[in-house]
């Protein structure tokens, strides 16, 4: 199993304003983000590739792992640190074969069954959510805090919670056994992404 510090896991959103997007990622890392995932669901492959290269310069500078959502080809092309796949993406076992054993493989799982299958199929960690209502991903299945705890207890790989996590509700997750908080809007849309990151990490470590 590949180990990664999942304490504060940033998933990116809309990169239309690229300069602001890249600055937000760098500020978030300076504030304590421990892993960055690029999620681009509509970009042309070339645009995604070029963006990923730019983000990799930033994550590389701070030695923070860079994960690519869904697109194994982009991850291989830029030699990212890993890939994150959902239940509608490439199957976990196929993804593991494509990326090899040394890259990080994360899988979204909303049930104990999905999480156990992902562990068996080569996942290094699980992302579980949405925990709270979220505007970013309106098709996400919702997972209660009790279900999150059940998933954590059912597998031996770490779990990050994702979906609607904010400074106001993050403390509700501290005792669930998760390895980290995964956020999009709470950092990407924050007025001060560095401060938001510091505060989220403080809550998680408290």
Among 5, 22, 58, 73, binds a copy of itself (CB under 8 A): 73
108 is catalytic: yes
Count of all residues that appear for the chain in the document = 206
What angle is formed at CA 161 by the lines to CA 155 and CA 166, rounded to 5 degrees? Answer: 165
Structure tokens given for 38 = 């690029």
Q: In angstroms, rounded to a whole number, what is the distance separating the alpha carbons of residues 8 and 49?
A: 24
Structure tokens given for 98 = 């494509």
- For residue 102, say whether it is annotated as part of any ligand binding site: no
Nearest distance from C-beta of residue 85 to a copy of itself, angstroms:
8
Q: In angstroms, rounded to a whole number, what is the distance separating the alpha carbons of residues 99 and 81?
A: 10
CA 47 from centre of chain: 20
Q: Residues 7, 108, 182, 197: which is the catalytic one?
A: 108
The reply on whether position 98 binds a copy of itself by CB under 8 A is yes
The reply on whether position 89 binds a copy of itself by CB under 8 A is yes
Q: Which of residues 42-71 bind a copy of itself (CB under 8 A)?
A: 44-47, 49, 70-71
206 is catalytic: no
171 is catalytic: no
Tell me which residues are annotated as active site. 39, 108, 137
Residues that bind a copy of itself (CB under 8 A): 44-47, 49, 70-73, 76-77, 85, 87-91, 94, 98
């Amino acid at each position: 199993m590949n180990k990664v510090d999942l304490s504060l896991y940033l998933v990116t959103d809309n990169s239309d304003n690229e300069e602001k997007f890249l600055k937000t990622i760098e500020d978030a890392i300076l504030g304590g983000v421990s892993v960055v995932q690029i999620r681009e669901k509509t970009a042309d492959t070339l645009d995604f590739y070029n963006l990923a290269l730019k983000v990799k310069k930033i994550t590389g500078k701070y030695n923070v792992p860079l994960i690519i959502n869904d697109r194994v080809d982009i991850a291989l092309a830029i030699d990212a640190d890993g890939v994150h796949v959902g239940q509608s993406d490439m199957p976990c076992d196929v993804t593991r074969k494509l990326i090899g054993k040394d890259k990080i493989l994360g899988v979204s799982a909303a049930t104990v069954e999905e999480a156990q299958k992902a562990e068996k199929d080569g996942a290094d960690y699980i992302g579980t959510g949405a925990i709270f209502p979220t505007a970013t991903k309106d098709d996400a299945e919702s997972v209660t805090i009790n279900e999150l705890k059940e998933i954590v207890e059912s597998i031996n790989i770490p779990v990050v919670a994702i979906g609607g996590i904010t400074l106001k509700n993050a403390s509700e997750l501290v005792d669930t056994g998760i390895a980290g908080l995964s956020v999009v809007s709470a950092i990407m849309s924050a007025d001060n992404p560095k401060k938001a990151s510091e505060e989220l990490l403080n809550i998680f470590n408290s």
